[in-house]
Amino acid sequence: MDEGYSKSDRDILLIATCVAALITPLMSTMMNLALLSIGEEFGVGSHDQAYVNTLFLLGSVFGMVPAAKYSSINGMKRMFVIGHLILLTACIFAISSPNFWFLVTMRFIIGFGASMIAVTAMSMLTFVFPIEHRGKVLGINTTFVYIGLSLGPTIGGILTDFLGWRAIFVSIVLLSVLPIVAILRFRKEIIPTPDMHMDWIGSVMWGATVLVLMFGVVNVTESWAKIMIVLGLVMLAGTWMHFRRTPDPVLSVSMFRNKVFTRASIAAFMNYGASYCITFFLALYLQSIGELSATEAGALMLIQPLMQVLLTMKMGELSDRMADKRILPALGMTLTGIGVSMYFLLGTTCSLPLVVVIMIVTGAGLGIFSAPNTSLIVSSVSPELKGEASGIVAVVRQTGMMVSMAIAMSCISVIMGTTDNLGPETYGTFVTVIHATFSICVLMCFIGVICSLIKVTGHRDA
């Protein structure tokens, strides 16, 4: 599937996708440092503040499955450009948000546009680059994700302190132009399955299921939320049955019959589910209990993603040379679990050295895990399914992140209830929320380690 592409084609595509890879983590981590300012401006507490990230992730998961299928039928390059245009337009509207819920709505639309970028970027790299370079290329792309994570807190903190949180969206508008210009120089369109039909019924079922189930989970303390959770689970079962029975489903669940693919995907879900809420809690913890400014908190939070940047690309290259593909993902998940468990040591007195150690350990775990596990997933399926497999990687990542935020919001709702405004009188309760959340995250890491250690058979390397 990689024949016919010149070095120039590959270089242009890598540049476009790497710049695009900065955008989603920047949108996430920069906003974390703006949450307190947003909450103060619109008068909302920590539970509602979490919607700023949760709705972004919800929009991503809502759009990813249909976007992956549609782009395989009609063109990945085209979908990549459309996603950027949607994201750019929603950011422009977000700049002038008149109220909190308008901002949250724009975040959902931004996430929807980002979903089109995420599923096509990795898929195009998988099709254009040969197997002997795939781990390295995916490592480079993932490194740019972590560069975004690294720069996000610092840039977000500085912009929030000196220009206000709306300036964050201005910076994303400017950045979004670059990958559009780059991808338009890529001479070819990538259409892996032009003869397939779009499963619009399955797309609607998927989107409705995600919305109903996740809104139920994040509002678990409400009586109506429990009804939504039950309804969402029933809808999920019905959607899965539809995928199994439809000739060209929007999501090829047949890939999950591949044990290597399934176990690596579960491990990825657990990894992102256990770790994504870290930046949300750290941003609030450091600015409230730690009494740091947004700029100071952002600078300190550089440490974890910096570790990820330093390790990810090297781990991708190393995984290409290793016979046993289990070692690096299992080691990464183990270190992530150790880092996550250390959050139990946080208290109402902030210890900056402890926070630094936690971020170093967690960052090392995430950096070792990501690229090798991603390469394992896309290399475990047949060539004609690699596009959809790459899409699944993005779906699993964003779903894990969304579930991570749902766990955080649920713990805030159950433990803090309506008294979720951060102040000295609620610091103790907030720390309890952190401990409760990460007790669940530690369990997810344990499951991820088990999935990573199970012996890999049937690895295609194609």
Q: What is the pLDDT of residues 274-309, one digit of tens each?
A: 988 888 888 888 988 988 887 888 888 888 888 887
Whether 310 shows a pLDDT value over 50: the answer reads: yes
- Asked if 70 and 112 touch (Cβ cutoff 8 Å), the reply is no
Place of tokens 């991808």: 183
Closest residue by Cα to residue 15 from 110, 119, 114, 125: 125
Please tell me the least confidently modeled range out of 92-96, 143-147, 371-375, 455-459. Answer: 455-459
The mean pLDDT value for 140-166 works out to: 82
- Asked if 381 and 255 touch (Cβ cutoff 8 Å), the reply is yes
**pLDDT for the residue 391:** 65
**pLDDT for the residue 445:** 93
Whether 139 shows a pLDDT value over 80: the answer reads: no
Q: What is the pLDDT of residues 318-360, one digit of tens each?
A: 776 777 777 888 899 999 999 999 999 998 888 899 999 999 9
**pLDDT for the residue 420:** 62
**Position 136 confidence tier, pLDDT thresholds 50, 70, 90:** confident
Q: What is the pLDDT of residues 187-220, one digit of tens each?
A: 788 887 788 888 899 999 999 998 898 888 777 7
What does the DSSP assignment read for 373-389?
HHHHHHHSS-GGGHHHH
Place of tokens 């899965």: 240
3-class secondary structure per residue, the chain: CCCCCCHHHHHHHHHHHHHHHHHHHHHHHHHHCCHHHHHHHHCCCHHHHCHHHHHHHHHHHHHHHHHHHHHHHHCHHHHHHHHHHHHHHHHHHHHCCCCHHHHHHHHHHHHHHHHHHHHHHHHHHHHHCCHHHHHHHHHHHHHHHHHHHHHHHHHHHHHHHHCCCHHHHHHHHHHHHHHHHHHCCCCCCCCCCCCCCCCHHHHHHHHHHHHHHHHHHHCCCCHHHHHHHHHHHHHHHHHHHHHHHCCCCCCCHHHHHCHHHHHHHHHHHHHHHHHCHHHHHHHHHHHHCCCCCHHHHHHHCCHHHHHHHHHHHHHHHHHHHCCCCCHHHHHHHHHHHHHHHHHHHCCCCCCHHHHHHHHHHHHHHHHHHHHHHHHHHHHCCCHHHHHHHHHHHHHHHHHHHHHHHHHHHHHHHHHCCCCCCCCHHHHHHHHHHHHHHHHHHHHHHHHHHHHHHCCCCCCCCC
SS3 409: helix
Q: What is the pLDDT of residues 378-433, one digit of tens each?
A: 777 766 666 667 667 777 887 888 888 888 888 888 888 755 667 788 888 889 99
The mean pLDDT value for 170-180 works out to: 89
**pTM of the model as a whole:** 0.76
Phi and psi for 415 in degrees, rounded to 5? -90, -45
Helix (H) or strand (E) holding 140: helix 131-162
pLDDT-above-70 percentage for the chain: 91
Closest residue by Cα to residue 362 from 288, 434, 441, 289: 441
**pLDDT for the residue 2:** 46
SS3 351: coil
**pLDDT for the residue 1:** 46
